[in-house]
Amino acid sequence: MPDILDIKIATMEGTQTTLRGLGGNRWLVVNVASACGATPQYEGLQAIHASNEEMTVVGFPCNQFGAQEPGTHSEICEFTAEKYSVSFPLMAKVDVKGDGKTGLYIALSEVADAEGYSGDIRWNFEKFLIESDGSIQRFSTRVMPEDIAL
């Protein structure tokens, strides 16, 4: 398995990059959705991204939970920009659980959260704080972005 920071991820533009390629020294990776009860978390994610030069928030739209991210790439970008002024990178829509799970989420699913849960992502807006040394903390949907000790 390659270093988690070097796992290939698809951009909305159809190119490949990595977390390391997005810049920063820390990454907050989040599976996002536009029509979820947790969607207002975009506001806290944007605040973290805007206020911390070393932190790169990275959103991965996913439509696997209640079909709450049905939009196209352009619709997702338009919605997040207009409603939440999102300027952090949004990647191509991915699967974060099941047989089609993308490589990054295969690795992230192995990380346990504070309650000891590891395994498939359970809902939208599950968060992973990844440090430049490769250490990872996992946070459930219920943990608000502003409650993560950065």
Can you give the CATH number for the domain in which 114 is found?
3.40.30.10
Considering 4, 36, 45, 130, which one is annotated as catalytic? Answer: 36
Range of the domain at 142: 4-147
DSSP state of 128: E
Token pair 């975009």 in the structure block, residue: 42
Say if residue 56's pLDDT is above 60: yes
Q: How far apart are CA 38 and CA 15, in angstroms?
A: 28
pTM: predicted TM-score of the whole model, two decimal places: 0.95
The number of distinct structural domains making up the chain is 1
pLDDT in tens, 85-135: 999 999 999 999 999 999 999 999 999 999 999 999 999 999 999 999 989
First CA to last CA distance, the chain:
27
Q: Is 62 a catalytic residue?
A: no
